[in-house]
Structure 1
Amino acid sequence: MTPEELAGVREDLEAFAAELFDGFFRADQRRWGQTYVRGLLLDGRRKSVEPMAARLGEDGNRQALAHFITSSPWDPAHVRARLAWRMHEAIGPEALIIDDTGFLKDGDASACVARQYTGTAGKVTNCQVGVSVHLATDRASAAIDWRLFLPASWDPASPQADADKVARRTRCGVPAQVGHVEKWQLALDMIDETRSWGVDVPLVVADAGYGDAAAFRHGLEERDLSYAVGICGRHTAHPARARPVQPAYAGTGRPPKMQYPEPARTMKDLVIAAGKAAARPVSWREGSRPGPGRSGFKRMYSRFVALRIRPAGRGIRRTVDDPELPE
């Protein structure tokens, strides 16, 4: 970029940061909030305060930045709401994506660190996990809300509590009222918060880490939200054409509940039973392997089967007593 272009980018960034922190009562909070955002966007792998302050040059007051992050009270929901409004206008979202990210940790100074699975490393390792929601289209996305996941080992009220981790709560700044909450519930809470800001949620998208939880799917239905979520093939269901029937009964007591004539089958078995003829090839964005695509890379490709089913299992609240069970 030319010096003039760089100056223009800086002006735009400063205006954006000023908009985010405009509601702060104290001028020093507005100043260091804007400086912190600028520091996050500068080149450099480490985003902790000390290396960030060094990259900021004359604006890099390490003590002031650290105070803004650790000791200067401000409401993050206010900043997130302003960010959500700005990104909603800029992106024109077609979906709200639920995801989580692992932050690998070696020491014991960070809150909520535990041995847990993270896709960042592709294995169980020592890390923090943050759950986030993103406004997205096929051209752009932006995280607008997020929560730090507190493992059960950090919750003194949990049977899985770890004494060492519980003892670290105060030192790590974990509020006494914060306990273990499942990731899918954190996601629902953030969806509620996002909607309270007046941000429209046209469609919720999530992987099987959330879609496998029947309570999460029910929560979306209760909020009257359309969704597309992943699930594991081991979950069970009945074909769409299956209907519950009343078993023969000639007694005087309470009649038995309605039942499906055939046992539920796994999703994998239902797809296999549909046969190869039901599969349809679909290709989408270009991947990372060299190929004939417009950008010089192969397009992602697979075959998909679309089936209407009637979910089964203990996690399904609606019962087969309801013949109008939705597909």
Structure 2
Amino acid sequence: MSSGSQVAERAAEESVLEQLCATLFASLPRHDQRRKGVEYLTGLLRATGRKSIRNIALAIGDQATEQYLHHFICDSTWEAVPVRRALAEHVWRVAPPRAWVVRPLLIPKAGRHSVGVGKRFAPDLGHTLNAQQALGVWSAAEDLTAPVDWRLRLSPAWVGDAGRRSRAAIPDGVRAESELECGVEAYLGVARFRDRPLVIDGRGHDVGTALTRLRRAGAPLLMRVSGTHRFTAPLLGPDPLSARQVMSALHAARRPVAGHWPLLAATSRVHTPDSDDLVLLGIGSAGHTWPTQLWLSNQPAVPAADLVRTSLLLPRVDHDFARYADRAGTRDFTGRSFAGWHRHMTLASAAHTILATADARTTPRPVTLPQQRTWHP
């Protein structure tokens, strides 16, 4: 990158930082807390290497700075939730989302004392590792995606251990959840913005329970499902069929997706024992085995092309996470407390938003969305 580009990038980041901080920390009751919030966020943007509190302090101050920033994140009294709401409202104004994408995040850990840490299977790596697992809620538009909320998934071993709960200061109402359940609850927590659909990967999980929860909440959904999940398709007879069987029967009904050639799509109305207003979406690519992806929606009036376009926000979020996570310090919190983890993740999300917004202003992206990287049903 040229020096001129670096100067323009830094100037854009400073401009977005100033604009965001004007409202982001309004809920913090004291002036010194608001000042520390700005300093921590500035340090996340400026620090090189791992975004530990020590490196953040070195980027903006000295050893005394490290001490009070550690207290600000790990031991202070300010609440992360109002700050996240302010962040979500800011992102909504800057780039209104097409959907909320819920994405799992594994954060590898060396020890066993960080809140929520345990043995977690990493699908991308194909093995189990010692890690925290969280579900992030991402505001997803074609030109900007950013995480605006987080839910830390805790295992029964954590929520059932009084000593662990006390040491990490886990609130009484926090309970053990499955990955999909955790993701759905994270989405439902963005209550003020629930008119946008939830986009989530439900393969390998209890889809029925999630459907019931979302139906009761009146929430729109687009969920990736496995080919073995079973439905009743009224036009194909009374017997339950796998999702793959339903879409295989619609091979001749595939249609090109406008603006996304060589993608093809087909839809079928399907039922489950508890839901009778669902649409199964098949997506494939010309010249490849059909179908290559299967999605379930509770929005029967939405055209197939719009559902496909919305599904493509999932790889866009994956792409942006890979691009900004290390720069924003998303995986770098080293404390052990539940509240400290949430405070750091809130400010790391704000840092991600600043970086992504600044990049969008200096190097606008084309409107064409990326195609899915993984095509296994």
TM band (smaller chain)? 0.7 to 0.9
Change in CA separation of 1:177 and 1:271 when aligned onto 2, cut-off 3 Å:
closer
- Deviation string 1:196-225 (CA, Å, 9 cap, x unpaired) is xx3353222111259752121222222333
Per the TM alignment, residue 186 of structure 1 is displaced from its structure 2 partner at its CA by: 3.2
On the 8 A contact 2:134/2:153 being kept in 1, the answer is yes
Alignment counterpart, residue 268 of structure 2, candidates 285, 297, 307: 307
Other-structure match for 1:93: 97
User: Aligned with 2:149: secondary structure?
Assistant: strand
Q: Secondary structure at the match of 1:110?
A: coil
Equivalent position to 1:274, from 250, 264, 288: 250
CA positional deviation for 1:35: 1.0
Query: Residue 181 of structure 2 is aligned with which of 163, 182, 185?
Result: 185
CA–CA distance in structure 2, aligned partners of residues 53 and 44 of structure 1: 11
The SS at the match of 2:93 is: helix
Deviations 1:216-245 (A, max 9, x none): 1222222333221111111111223257xx
1:326 to 254, 272, 277: 277
| Cα RMSD for the two superposed structures | 3.0
Cα separation, 1, equivalents of 2:227 and 2:12: 51
> How is 1:51-200 mapped onto 2 (pairs within 5 angstroms)?
51-57=55-61, 61-119=65-123, 121-156=125-160, 167-195=163-191, 198-200=192-194
Q: Which residue identity is paired with 1:236?
A: R
Tell me the CA shift for residue 272 of structure 1: 2.8
**Larger Rg belongs to:** 1
After TM superposition, the score normalised by the length of structure 1 is 0.73
How many pairs were matched up? 274
Q: With structure 2 as the length reference, what TM-score do the two structures score?
A: 0.64
Name the stretch that deviates more: 171-180 or 30-39: 171-180
Question: Whose relative contact order is higher, 1 or 2, with alpha carbons under 8 Å and at least 6 apart?
Answer: 2
Partner of 1:321: none
- Whether 1:34 and 2:42 are equivalent positions in the alignment is no
Work out whether 1:203 is the aligned partner of 2:231: no
Contact 2:108 2:129 in 1 (8 A): yes
Q: Partner of 1:80: helix, strand, or coil?
A: helix
Instruction: Supply the distance in 2 between the matched residues of 1:32 and 1:120 (Cα, whole angstroms).
Output: 37
Once the two structures are TM-superposed, the CA of residue 39 in structure 1 deviates from its matched residue by: 1.6
| SS of alignment partner, residue 186 of structure 2 | helix
Question: How far has the Cα of 1:278 moved from its partner?
Answer: 3.6
* Cα distance change on mapping 1:45 and 1:123 into 2, 3 Å: farther
Q: Which has the higher helix share?
A: 2
1:239 equivalent in structure 2? 233
Kept in 2, the 8 Å contact 1:52–1:60? The answer is no
SS of the equivalent of 2:142 reads: coil
Paired residues of 2:54 and 2:66 also in contact (CA < 8 A): yes
Question: Structure 1 residues 153, 86: CA separation in 2 closer, same or farther (over 3 Å shift)?
Answer: same
Distance 2:63 2:24 in 1: 19
Deviation of 1:303 (Å) = 4.8
Q: 1:98 to 1:60 in 2, by over 3 A?
A: farther
Where does structure 1 differ by over 6 angstroms across 4 or more consecutive aligned residues? none
Cα pair 2:201 2:223 within 8 Å, conserved: yes
Question: Equivalent pairs: percent with the same residue?
Answer: 25
State the shift of 1:135 in Å: 1.3
CA–CA distance in structure 1, aligned partners of residues 49 and 122 of structure 2: 20
Where does residue 274 of structure 2 map in the other structure?
A: 317
Kindly tell me: are residues 8 and 232 of structure 1, through their superposed partners in 2, closer, same or farther at Cα, counting changes over 3 Å? closer
C-alpha separation between the residues in 1 aligned to 2:100 and 2:32?
34
SS of 1:201's equivalent in the other structure is coil
Q: 1:199 to 1:305 in 2, by over 3 A?
A: closer
Residue by residue over 1:44-84, the C-alpha shift from the partner in whole angstroms, topping out at 9 and shown as x without a partner, is 33122112222224597110110001111111111011111
Q: Deviations over 1:123-173 (max 9, x none)?
A: 3221111111111112111111111110122121xxxxxx6xx64333333
Change (3 A) 1:12 1:264: closer
In structure 2, what is the equivalent of residue 228 of structure 1?
A: 222
Cα distance, 1:273 vs structure 2: 3.4
Q: Which runs of 5+ in 2 are unaligned?
A: 279-377
21-30 vs 182-191, which deviates more?
182-191
Question: What's 2:361 paired with?
Answer: none
What CA distance in whole angstroms lies between the structure 2 residues aligned with 1:31 and 1:148? 27
Candidates 193, 209, 213, aligned match of 1:215:
209
